[in-house]
Amino acid sequence: MLVKWIRCTVVDRRGFERAQRKWAGLLGEPGFRGQGGGWSRSRPDVAHVFAFWESRAFYDSFMARSHDRLASAQVGTYKNLQAKLFDHRFDVKTGFEPRFTDADVVRVANCRIHEARVENFALMQEKVWNPAMAGSPGMVRGLFGEAPGHEFLVLSMWQSAAEHGKYRVERVERLALRAQTEADVAAITGDVVHLEPSWTV
């Protein structure tokens, strides 16, 4: 599965939201698995969208044919758009599906890893972080994705911001020490996204 993460700064909120609903047109696209998104909890003018495709081939075909028609309604409503593609490597918890209806927030972390530490980072994700997240109350599902250039995406869905906050306070520091995260990570950016139900396709 291919994961597309889009982040942008919105300059016309009403126009952006209205146009976001037009992405319902994705439903007929071959290989399309689901899309959802919402607003950054820390920066109210930043929007995040997550789209899921069966494969790179289906995604490339969509980009060549239908993308510009669907995207045209949103032109002028945002600036500083960044889009990144990741290949799904494994699930956090079990049976990841691109469904957004049972979650309230998404935590997204984008990690660039030192080349010599890539395998350790992936192993620690599987052996230390995954079980801790999967065992946390309120954590719905998640995935671990990989992009060229030793770059990874950790995406987790939570029932509420409060549940995610509890996990952060109680577990993250201890887990980071155990997983030696500091030695692995060259750079990390992330956000907590409050999902907008009307953006879900």
What domains does the chain contain, in order, with CATH numbers? Answer: 2-199 (3.30.70.100)
> Which of 3-12, 166-175, 189-198 comes out lowest in average pLDDT?
166-175
- The per-residue pLDDT for 20 is 96
pLDDT value, residue 62: 97
Contact 96, 155 (CB under 8 A): no
Q: Looking at the predicted structure, is the pLDDT value of residue 170 above 90?
A: no
Strands 105-113 and 32-40: unpaired
How is residue 168 written in tokens? 């952060």
pLDDT at 95 over 90: no
Measured in whole angstroms, the distance separating CA 190 from the mean position of its chain's CA atoms is 9
User: Can you tell me the mean pLDDT for 161-179?
Assistant: 89
How does strand 151-158 pair with strand 185-195?
unpaired
Would the pLDDT of 47 be above 90? Answer: yes
Asked if the model's pLDDT at residue 187 lies above 90, the reply is yes
Question: Which residues make Cβ contacts (< 8 Å) with residue 96, sequence separation at least 6?
Answer: 88, 141, 142, 143
User: Does 173 score more than 90 pLDDT?
Assistant: no
pLDDT band, residue 93 (cuts 50/70/90): confident
For residues 107-121, average pLDDT? 96
118-130 residue pLDDT tens? 999 999 999 999 9
Task: Say if pTM beats, i.e. exceeds, 0.75.
Answer: yes
7 contacts 48 by C-beta, under 8 angstroms:
yes
